[in-house]
Amino acid sequence: MNKESTVANKSVWSDNRFWQRSATWVTGFASLLLIWLTFDSMGQIAMGNDADIQNGVTKRVPGPTVINRKITYEMSAARGHEIPVIGAKEMFFGRDDYSEEEAGALLHLGKLGQQAKNCMACHTLLGNGAYYAPDLTKAWLDPAWGPNGPLQAMTGKETKEEAMAEFLQHPNLYPTHARMMPDLGITAEEAKGLVAFLKHMSSIDTNGFPRNFGRMQGAVHGK
């Protein structure tokens, strides 16, 4: 068999040049896809602003002034899970007119507070942390803190935010589980920031996470 015949009968699957070209095309395509997914993800998680909220523009991560609004949890038939819904103005510690700067400062204070107090050593936020204590991802929407919930009644406060702030400052006075929250020395201002941080956290569209939250009686608006 001559050389020309051997070359003609050689399978493409055993041709090194075919695999080299294929690897180049696959690597290039994968790189472009990764770049596109990176920019898409950055757009998805970018925080919105007050103009978005005012104009009814839905952002996965709403702007800080969402603390001025009522937040409910609704079942989306199209998506097959619950989503947070931003509604009309709602008082938060006696105000519903926090500016972006004021609201942002409160959220920043709350974020620093949860980091300084190491909340995720016991709690979970957005899937990160521990499960020794309740998941805080949707804590603001927990019906236990609502007007008919046991926790608000226990603290004797008239609003959800005041009840949560009171509990954070004096957890030893309000035992709720066998695993009692320790007194972390949280100040009134730190508590206000933490509650603002938790309210904003509850407004984030987490694709129905945590999955078991929507099964709680009263968690989903209208159930």
Q: pLDDT tens, 161-175?
A: 999 999 999 999 988
What digits encode the pLDDT tens for the residues 77-115?
A: 898 888 999 999 999 999 999 999 999 999 999 999 999
Greater confidence (42 vs 103) lies with 103
The pLDDT score that the predictor gives to residue 217 is 66
| Structure tokens belonging to residue 128 | 């990160």
Residue 116 domain-assigned?
A: yes
Residue 222 resides in a domain = no
- Long-range residue pairs from 19-22, CB within 8 A, at least 24 positions apart, any chain: none
The predicted pLDDT at position 18 comes to 85
**Are residues 39 and 64 both part of a single domain?**
no
Query: Same domain, yes or no, for 115 and 203?
Result: yes
pTM of the predicted model as reported, rounded to 2 decimal places: 0.82
Top pLDDT among 27 and 58 is at 27
Residue 76 pLDDT more than 80? yes
Region 176-200 average pLDDT:
92
Q: What are the tens digits of pLDDT across the range 102-155? A: 999 999 999 999 999 999 999 999 989 998 998 999 999 998 898 888 889 999
Same domain flag for 33 and 142: no
The pLDDT assigned to 80 comes to 86
Q: Which of 9, 126, 122, 3 is nearest to 60 (CA)?
A: 126
Locus of tokens 């009134």: 188
Provide the pLDDT for residue 75: 87
In a domain, 102, yes or no: yes
Residue range 197-215: mean pLDDT, rounded: 88
Same domain flag for 34 and 54: no
Give CA–CA dist 96/150, Å, rounded.
25
In a domain, 153, yes or no: yes
pLDDT of residue 180: 85
Both 33 and 108 in one domain: the answer is: no
Residue 179 confidence class, pLDDT cut points 50, 70, 90: confident
Residue among 97, 123, 85, 89 nearest 210 (CA): 123
Residue 117 shares a structural domain with residue 188: yes
- How many structural domains compose the chain? 2
- Domain span at residue 69? 49-215
76 and 7 both lie in a single domain: no
CATH number at residue 174: 1.10.760.10
Chain centroid, CA 154 distance in Å: 27
Same domain, 149 and 199: yes
CA 212, CA 100: separation in Å to the nearest integer?
32
The amino acid that residue 177 corresponds to is H
- For residue 150, whether the previous peptide bond is cis, meaning omega lies within 30 degrees of 0, is no
CB 202 within 8 A of CB 138: yes
Q: What is the pLDDT of residue 3?
A: 53
**Same domain assignment for residues 157 and 207:** yes
